[in-house]
Amino acid sequence: SRIIYPKTDDQRNRLQEACKDILLFKNLDPEQMSQVLDAMFEKLVEGGEHVIDQGDDGDNFYVIDRGTYDIYVKCDGVGRCVGTYDNRGSFGELALMYNTPRAATIIATSPGAVWGLDRVTFRRIIVKNNAKKRKMYENFIQSLPFLTSLEVSFQLHYFSSCGMGIYLGIKISSRLKIYMADCFFIVESGEVRITMKRKNKQDVEENGAVEIARYSRGQYFGELALVTNKPRAASAFALGTVKCLVMDVQAFERLLGPCMEIMKRNIANYEEQLVTLFGTNMDIADPSA
Ligand code: CMP
Ligand code: CMP
């Protein structure tokens, strides 16, 4: 049976805006998407309210409409804040996907609102779709060089559980620009061009941006800002049509811990390359810069 919560025009607009970049919704067809939107309901939250408590059964998946939220994970009985959501994103998919207790506590740190999607609709539409996606990408995921240090079962678990979606950039003149913030990207097809501007403003005006790398199938980018907590060090443009698997920062931090060392080591390579190109490492990893 199909669940429908009637909505005002304002609610529908806000809901559409909030769901626009939700990775788990990315490869739903229009009919599935409309069923999901119909079934979502608005829930207002107060500052300090627990939207989810670790250990509970999963009832709903949530998409953030507005407000800030802390993520707490208990380890040996002690809760530790492991991340935050700032006016966008989603949470609560793990318990619904795996029939497990809630893996974290989510506490609102301001008044806000979330859109809930009930467990039954989530499983009927999103989980089913995700299983299809996982089948499609199984071989690709297992062939990714930076994941080879992980066991196969881990690789698949990671990538099917983390809300990844297929991402197509928006077209800007003849190029597609990768615009999503706070995400990590793995190129599935096509080619991505990475460019950087020199720090000296006068230089930028005279020289524009310099191409520093090109990435194709199996290569990743966008990890640096997530590892260093700094702004993006460079810009990424899709050359023609590019398909990327995308992971949000919360999933990246939760799931890619074991690969973090490989990524950190890579920073030294970036710096070396920048010294060769610009005569400076551009402070890409220096937290004081
Ligand atoms: P779920 O386990 O259903 O409920 C808590 C949610 O917090 C979880 O799904 C994820 O969506 C989200 N979350 C964000 N960061 C983490 C984390 N580091 N560990 C576990 N859950 C997290
Ligand atoms: P991030 O800073 O998040 O966004 C831009 C990305 O460009 C960066 O992560 C890296 O993945 C990628 N990149 C490729 N070469 C370099 C380089 N030499 N210096 C910094 N970033 C680079």
For position 173, what pLDDT does the model report? 40
C-beta of residue 75 within 8 angstroms of C-beta of residue 19: no
Q: Atom 22, ligand 1: which residue's CA is nearest?
A: 104
**How does pLDDT run along the chain (289 residues), one tens digit per residue?**
799 999 999 999 999 999 988 888 877 899 999 999 999 999 999 999 999 999 999 999 999 999 999 999 998 889 999 999 999 999 999 899 889 999 999 999 999 999 999 999 999 999 898 888 778 888 888 888 888 776 666 666 556 545 454 545 543 444 455 555 678 888 888 888 898 887 665 555 555 788 999 999 999 998 998 888 888 888 888 888 888 888 888 888 877 777 888 888 889 999 999 999 889 998 888 766 5
Establish whether residue 73 lines the binding site of ligand 1, counting it when its CB lies within 6 angstroms of any ligand atom.
yes
**233 C-alpha vs ligand 2 centroid, how far in Å?**
5
For position 177, what pLDDT does the model report? 53
Structure-derived torsion over alpha carbons of residues 96, 98, 99, 104, reported in degrees to the nearest 10: -70
**225 C-alpha vs ligand 2 centroid, how far in Å?**
8
Establish whether residue 273 lines the binding site of ligand 2, counting it when its CB lies within 6 angstroms of any ligand atom.
yes
For position 264, what pLDDT does the model report? 85
For position 172, what pLDDT does the model report? 40
Structure tokens given for 98: 């795996």
3-state helix, strand, coil in the chain (%, to 5): 35, 30, 30
Euclidean distance between CA atoms 12 and 222, whole angstroms: 32
For position 115, what pLDDT does the model report? 98
